[in-house]
């Protein structure tokens, strides 16, 4: 993975249980990164309680999930996909457009968002 410091690597055991999320760490132990979470509302509420109890210091959800796992919580990884781009960054957005353009059949329009405009 190029630039692991921009991503959160997911370290799992042989049964795909998440052992650790290495948050924006150089030399990450895994090339798998998370792109989404799925969880019941009760787990989301538990993560929120933990965030509040930790004085809202967790800037990244990965550190909060690590705390949840360390206290006995369980997270499972589902390995899917071969490419990931962070569309929250300009470089990632451009990468996504390029990726979609390369995968689209000839003649398929690719949706591009215009530059943001000031609301009137």
Compute, in degrees rounded to 10, the torsion defined by CA atoms 52, 58, 59, 63: -140
Instruction: Indicate whether 119 pLDDT > 50.
Output: no
The count of structural domains within the chain is 1
Residue 17 inside a domain? The answer is: yes
Residue 72 inside a domain? The answer is: yes
Interatomic CA distance for residues 94 and 108, integer angstroms: 18
Residue 101 inside a domain? The answer is: no
pLDDT band at 101 (very low <50, low <70, confident <90, very high): confident
Residue 93 inside a domain? The answer is: no
Q: pLDDT tens across 54-97, in order?
A: 999 999 999 999 999 999 999 999 988 777 777 778 888 888 88
pLDDT number for residue 80: 82
Domain that holds residue 18: 4-82
Q: Compute the 3-state secondary structure of the chain and give helix, strand, coil in percent, each to the nearest 5.
A: 35, 10, 55
């Amino acid at each position: 993975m190029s630039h692991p410091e921009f991503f959160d690597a997911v370290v799992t055991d042989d049964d795909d249980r998440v052992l650790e999320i290495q948050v924006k760490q150089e030399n990450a132990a895994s090339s798998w990164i998370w792109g989404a979470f799925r969880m019941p509302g009760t787990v989301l509420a538990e993560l929120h309680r933990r965030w509040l109890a930790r004085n809202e210091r967790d800037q990244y959800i990965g550190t909060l999930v690590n705390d949840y796992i360390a206290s006995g919580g369980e997270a499972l990884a589902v390995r899917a996909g071969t490419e990931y781009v962070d569309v929250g960054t300009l470089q990632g957005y451009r990468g996504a457009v390029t990726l979609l353009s390369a995968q689209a059949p000839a003649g398929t329009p690719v949706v591009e968002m215009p530059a943001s405009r000031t609301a009137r």
